[in-house]
Amino acid sequence: MKIRAVKIIDGAAPIISCQSEISQIKLVSKRPLNGEEIRDIFRMISDKQITLQLITVHITQIVFSVPCLMAGAVMDLFSQSEYRINAINDCAEVNISGVQVSDVPQITGKIIETLSSLNVAILHLTTSQSSVSVLVEQAHLPAARNTIHAALHLF
């Protein structure tokens, strides 16, 4: 497979960072969530000073990551609610940031392809014009980091 180098628009060197000891939490509703409910969920979390990352809001669910030490507090917060709560503990996040990448779709495709070939499940993947974040099981952190390195030609 042919790999193209990343075009760095601003000339800055990309930064790869890793964070471990993360839990992914999913709150699932049996019906569509309205704006007031979503606001209330985030207000409850904020009132407990729980740090969130990789937030995704869907019509019937909210998915986010928290430090493992805060996962229990989130579970307790919503244990009596109408939402079904799913948690995946022992996760890690790999981020590439600090540049404007013009080839995000190709880089993302390469990351997905390589992690799939290594049987590494992608729990969450988020991109923007200047970053790519991948959440994987903690045990797969080295493979995910190396894959992102390879996709960006940073060896």
In this chain, the answer to whether the domains covering 15-19+91-151 and 22-90 adopt an identical fold is yes
> Quick one: the chain helix, strand, coil %, rounded to 5?
35, 35, 30
CB 29 within 8 A of CB 82: yes
* Predicted model pTM: 0.81
Domain parsing of the chain, residue ranges: 15-19+91-151, 22-90
Helix axes 104-117, 141-151, angle to 10 degrees: 140
CATH of domain 22-90: 3.30.70.260
The neighbouring-strand residues paired with 28 are: 61, 84
Specify whether domain 15-19+91-151 bears CATH 3.40.50.150: no
Alpha carbons 9 and 79: distance in angstroms, whole number = 47
- List phi, psi (to 5°) of 77: -60, -35
pLDDT in tens, 20-31: 999 999 999 999
Per-residue pLDDT of 85-115, as tens digits, reads 999 999 999 988 765 556 677 778 888 888 9
Q: Band of the pLDDT at 82, cuts 50, 70, 90? A: very high
Per-residue tokens: 47: 């009132």
